[in-house]
Structure 1
């Protein structure tokens, strides 16, 4: 059964024009209530795109992409991960903004995506599922594909990162120590400075702390003004994120992904998180372990958020074309 259509309520960061968007709360197995936004096409969908957003942001920022996808016949489901967006800001105590969990947060969010997959399959039986992850969401998506890849029809990764290397491992040590000394929920200004500071420094002179995200100043300003974006993440968050990055960067983990799973990687050329080099490194790892359909698209001069860049219409058009090649028609009849 399809989720009920209802009048759209305003969302933080909403840009309008999405009359078919609605939301529900999914209570995952450990009891966490996860806020999920959905966008549905008028006809039976050719596939579902499950969006896993990045760190200290939320699903409503992907309205523009969701509109493009629904226009082309795709349904979209996008959760606010635990510790993010309306999953934190909704009714009742739902955690700390910028904090996944006191222990095992990265794995918990991967399992939240699995619970949402179960819900999607109940809502839209037989419709193939594409997992699209941006930044932190791309790491979650890589972990999901390694653990539950048989549930997916395709994987799209935006702004993903290569192996953490010495600096990443040092960051994990610092975050783990800070979480132990100050508590996992303590806001980590230290880790934020060690990560975001160098990212932004590459684009001096800086207008904001978030210039590294996009060349589009309107998008950067909207992010900066959004109370559900840009929070200082916790020490436990950085520990979980860097643990997850180290895990998914192992070839033995990538080898657990289904060989026939189509994977498309998109990135900004000068993205300080991965960029051209990091994206090609990940793609090469996937090919080396036997994945048969791995493609990349590097956007010249673009920064971290290619889906919020000055040429985002071009980026979305290319992404939809890639999806259309793999899902040319709806695979189900209308309910």
Structure 2
């Protein structure tokens, strides 16, 4: 893994869809090489003082880690070292756009990145922060390594898909089609359901690194597999977590938030539901987004205030 960059918002190469071959030259941007020989574009937000903890930021489906620059900079101001990568098939990273053979690949790559950072910063506690699909990845990473993480903050995590996007018929159809037409497009997501903030919707729509194409049957099937795995993994969760959810989320059913609160064994767990808010709470109407940033700021501040807290090796 290459060293972090001075400007974490630096985005080398303009462009979008990409699928690098494994024998291509090493890229000239901060990267991680995963177990499949694919390059993952990485970003690091390093505080000016020695960090109190590490925080991996896990982005959602179709987007990229650069969209979390404002959250990561806030964490950096708390003397936390935030780090992230574009998941395979997303943003600057290798792989066919929004194609993954197994959802576990996303989880595996996150754990690999965490392990790499812990070698450079031994003894520091490690937290997770995830949104939407990135929230499901964070939950599964925590469930796979009970006791390893110091806590996680979740913004509208994928626990249950909304009834609108995953009716019983659609779920069954996706499973059947995945056997015969895995590359069939089921259509693109209507970005207007992501946020009530029209400016943020336009920013999302105009971002060249965001995937604007149709969701393939195979990818939707992997998201459904992730939902099943999250449900099975809940009893393994014992770490502290903060869960933020919009009541009018049209992608991730808010019932999933309550399911996670009931299913996790964690003693320290907090749920805050924003009435009327959509999916991207961190890019919603100002009153919602300001509250989200405040909640995350306070939660991390409180849980990193104690000196001497250490994560298991």
Q: Secondary structure at the match of 1:35?
A: strand
In the alignment, which residue of structure 1 is the partner of 2:227?
A: 245
How many pairs are equivalent?
290
Please give the TM-score of this superposition, normalised by the length of structure 2.
Answer: 0.84
- Cα distance 1:169–1:31, how it changes in 2: closer, same or farther (>3 A)? farther
> Aligned partners of 1:10 and 1:213: how far apart in 2?
25
In the alignment, which residue of structure 2 is the partner of 1:322?
A: 299
Q: Secondary structure at the match of 2:30?
A: strand
TM-superposed CA distance for 1:71, in Å, is 1.3
8 Å Cα contact 2:160/2:252 also seen in 1? no
TM-superposed CA distance for 1:231, in Å, is 3.2
Deviations 1:113-166 (A, max 9, x none): 110011110222211111111101111111111112332110121112444699
- Picking from 307, 313, 332, the partner of 2:290 is 313
Give runs of aligned pairs for residues 184-223 of structure 1, distance below 5 A: 184=182, 186=183, 188=185, 190=186, 192=187, 196=189, 209-223=190-204
> Aligned partners of 1:140 and 1:71: how far apart in 2?
25
> Aligned partners of 1:247 and 1:5: how far apart in 2?
35
In the alignment, which residue of structure 1 is the partner of 2:80?
A: 74
In the alignment, which residue of structure 2 is the partner of 1:84?
A: 90
In the alignment, which residue of structure 2 is the partner of 1:271?
A: 249
> Aligned partners of 1:226 and 1:213: how far apart in 2?
14
8 Å Cα contact 1:272/1:303 also seen in 2? yes
- Cα distance 1:79–1:291, how it changes in 2: closer, same or farther (>3 A)? same
Give runs of aligned pairs for residues 1-335 of structure 1, distance below 5 A: 3-6=3-6, 10-11=10-11, 24-87=30-93, 94-100=94-100, 103-104=101-102, 106-163=103-160, 167=166, 170-182=169-181, 184=182, 186=183, 188=185, 190=186, 192=187, 196=189, 209-229=190-210, 230-250=212-232, 253-257=233-237, 259=238, 261-274=239-252, 276-286=254-264, 290-311=265-286, 312-328=289-305, 331=308
Deviations 1:284-304 (A, max 9, x none): 222xxx321111111232110
For structure 2, the 5+ residue unaligned runs are 13-27
For structure 1, the 5+ residue unaligned runs are 13-21, 88-93, 197-208
> Aligned partners of 1:318 and 1:5: how far apart in 2?
28
In the alignment, which residue of structure 2 is the partner of 1:205?
A: none
> Aligned partners of 2:160 and 2:65: how far apart in 1?
26
TM-superposed CA distance for 1:169, in Å, is 5.6
In the alignment, which residue of structure 1 is the partner of 2:25?
A: none
> Aligned partners of 1:276 and 1:175: how far apart in 2?
23
Q: Secondary structure at the match of 1:151?
A: coil
8 Å Cα contact 1:214/1:304 also seen in 2? yes
> Aligned partners of 1:9 and 1:59: how far apart in 2?
10
Task: Please provide the CA RMSD for this pair.
Answer: 2.6
8 Å Cα contact 1:98/1:233 also seen in 2? yes
> Aligned partners of 2:172 and 2:10: how far apart in 1?
41
8 Å Cα contact 1:23/1:37 also seen in 2? no
8 Å Cα contact 2:162/2:253 also seen in 1? no
8 Å Cα contact 2:191/2:205 also seen in 1? yes
> Aligned partners of 1:23 and 1:49: how far apart in 2?
21
- Cα distance 1:315–1:32, how it changes in 2: closer, same or farther (>3 A)? same
> Aligned partners of 1:267 and 1:30: how far apart in 2?
34
TM-superposed CA distance for 1:34, in Å, is 1.3
8 Å Cα contact 1:283/1:296 also seen in 2? yes
8 Å Cα contact 1:153/1:262 also seen in 2? yes
8 Å Cα contact 1:164/1:246 also seen in 2? no
TM-superposed CA distance for 1:9, in Å, is 6.4
